């Protein structure tokens, strides 16, 4: 108060040492201004002053806890605060012996690809979060997901196009199917050429030349589909896949079904009458076969009209957690379901043919091809039963297209190889290496064939019942 009144007295009555009339009465507001403006050293030698808010400035000693090999651990004065900071940097010590003063900030700037997540209640502090997955840094505070056909840059500051891949001819997934298909095409072509060269030989005639050529054509198309499944997808390739994927199998199993059905009807008819059943001539057999094939062809053309073939790029099939390995897969617009539907008619023919092969298993081997067809169908069913779980079990794999394409083409090649090996390779072997066996055998009438079948059935029954059969010597 004295310092303030003294300063005010000097200002109002300069040079006058007595009582100043101008200071009576003393106004409180004027005195308050002088009180806030005082600045002098007190008895302790420290300054006395007030800030603009009327508060006395703080006076602090600043300590730092230091651990040294020279002195004992403890706090050490490194500076003071009296209205402003005074630090003795030479006396300061930092973790690890670093002499550089650390930055005095709450949060450091975020790196590229990181967004700021603000700390609630502390406007100058934040946490840096990396934009993960397929996200990129949209702005300082937000991440956004890249479009479906793109993936983030390495520093996640933007997006880049996802590479497009397809099944390559040099891929291990393609080499094995192509190798099997080439062997199958060579073997099938050899069989066709042999049958054409020896078209009038007894073995070729006995095998049913017309249906044999149809069946061999179907086997050839089954092998051929491997190359279409691996070829680079385009509208033409996709259309060919739709047409030939089920057509080859349909042709093969239609021909085999017609054969087994003919054998079954002949011997079933022979049990009740000597007259042959209808539609067993070669021309009738071809008509039945082409009717069965036309169902597949008609269904495919309807599919063309409803949904024209085209290519798509699937970005979901190979989209692992790490976007660096993301790839778009170029393929035809055939889903797993549509692919199975494309093969469904062939599967129906295959199952029906197997049923007739089982029914005809009791027919004597010397009269027909029922047993080789039966073995062919049993083996084919096993191949396709193994195919189904593998095909659908890989639906969630990142290499789904490659595994499914390989599985499908190998299964088809195996089924074609089974048919070729069971039905035609033995005939070609006899024609080429044992021509002495390629001779006309004694013809049997339908009645004699039926009697032989009847006697064979009676023998089986007598054997089962434990009774002996007395042959009829009059015949």
- The tens digit of pLDDT for each residue in 381-390 reads 888 888 888 8
Residue found under tokens 């390995």: 325
Distance CA 228, CA 272 (A): 50
Q: Residue 111 has which token pair?
A: 């790196």
DSSP 349-360: HHHHHHHHHHHT
**Which domains, ranges and CATH numbers included, belong to the chain?**
2-92 (no CATH), 114-161 (2.10.50.30), 180-441 (1.20.1070.10)
pLDDT of amino acid 445: 47
pLDDT of amino acid 473: 38
Distance of CA 158 to the CA centre of its chain: 26
CB atoms within 10 A of CB 160: 13
Each residue of 391-411: pLDDT tens digit?
A: 777 766 767 888 888 988 999
Q: Residue 288 has which token pair?
A: 């039945």
pLDDT of amino acid 470: 45
Looking at 20-171, list the stretches that DSSP marks H as alpha helix, in order from N- to C-terminal side: 28-36
Check: CB of residue 23 under 8 Å from CB of residue 13.
yes
Distance of CA 9 to the CA centre of its chain: 94
Check: CB of residue 377 under 8 Å from CB of residue 407.
no
CB atoms within 10 A of CB 314: 15
pLDDT of amino acid 462: 56
pLDDT of amino acid 471: 42
CB atoms within 10 A of CB 211: 20
Distance CA 463, CA 441 (A): 30
Residues of the chain with pLDDT under 50: 443-446, 467-475
pLDDT of amino acid 153: 93
Partners of residue 320 on adjacent β-strands? none
pLDDT of amino acid 273: 59
pLDDT of amino acid 221: 94
**What is the value of pTM for the model shown?**
0.69
Residue found under tokens 């298993």: 361
């Amino acid at each position: 108060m004295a310092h303030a009144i003294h300063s005010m007295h000097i200002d109002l009555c300069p040079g006058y040492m007595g009582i100043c009339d101008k200071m009576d009465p003393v106004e409180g507001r004027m005195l308050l201004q002088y009180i806030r403006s005082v600045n002098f050293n007190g008895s302790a030698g420290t300054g006395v002053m007030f800030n603009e808010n009327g508060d006395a400035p703080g006076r602090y000693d600043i300590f730092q806890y230091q651990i040294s090999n020279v002195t004992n651990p403890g706090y050490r004065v490194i500076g003071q605060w009296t209205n402003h900071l005074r630090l003795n940097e030479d006396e300061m010590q930092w973790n690890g012996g670093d002499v550089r003063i650390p930055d005095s900030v709450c949060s450091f700037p975020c790196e590229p690809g990181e967004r700021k997540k603000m700390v609630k209640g502390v406007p100058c502090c934040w946490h840096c979060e990396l934009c993960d997955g397929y996200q990129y840094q949209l702005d300082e505070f937000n991440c956004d997901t890249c479009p479906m056909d793109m993936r983030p840059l390495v520093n996640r500051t933007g997006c880049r196009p996802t590479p497009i891949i397809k099944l390559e001819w040099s891929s291990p997934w393609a080499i094995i199917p192509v190798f099997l298909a080439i062997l199958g095409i060579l073997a099938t072509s050899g069989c066709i050429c042999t049958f054409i060269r020896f078209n009038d030989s007894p073995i070729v005639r006995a095998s049913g030349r017309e249906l044999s050529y149809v069946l061999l054509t179907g086997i050839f198309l089954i092998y051929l589909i491997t190359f279409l499944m691996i070829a680079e997808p385009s509208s033409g390739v996709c259309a060919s896949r739709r047409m030939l994927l089920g057509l080859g199998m349909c042709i093969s199993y239609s021909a085999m079904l017609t054969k087994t059905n003919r054998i079954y009807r002949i011997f079933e008819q022979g049990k009740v009458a000597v007259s042959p059943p209808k539609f067993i001539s070669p021309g009738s057999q071809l008509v039945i076969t082409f009717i069965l094939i036309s169902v597949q062809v008609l269904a495919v053309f309807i599919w063309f009209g409803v949904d024209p073939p085209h290519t798509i790029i699937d970005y979901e099939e190979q989209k692992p957690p790490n976007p660096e390995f993301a790839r778009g897969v170029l393929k035809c617009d055939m889903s797993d379901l549509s692919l199975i539907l494309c093969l469904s008619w062939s599967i129906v023919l295959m199952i029906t043919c197997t049923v007739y092969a089982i029914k005809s298993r009791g027919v004597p081997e010397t009269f027909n091809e029922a047993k080789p067809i039966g073995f062919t169908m049993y083996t084919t069913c096993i191949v396709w039963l193994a195919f189904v779980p593998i095909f659908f079990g890989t639906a969630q794999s990142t290499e789904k297209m490659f595994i499914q394409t390989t599985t499908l083409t190998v299964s088809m090649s195996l089924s074609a190889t089974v048919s070729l090996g069971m039905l035609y390779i033995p005939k070609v072997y006899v024609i080429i290496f044992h021509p002495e066996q390629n001779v006309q055998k004694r013809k049997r009438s339908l009645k004699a064939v039926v009697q032989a079948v009847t006697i064979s059935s009676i023998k089986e029954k007598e054997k089962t019942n434990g009774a002996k059969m007395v042959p009829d010597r009059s015949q």
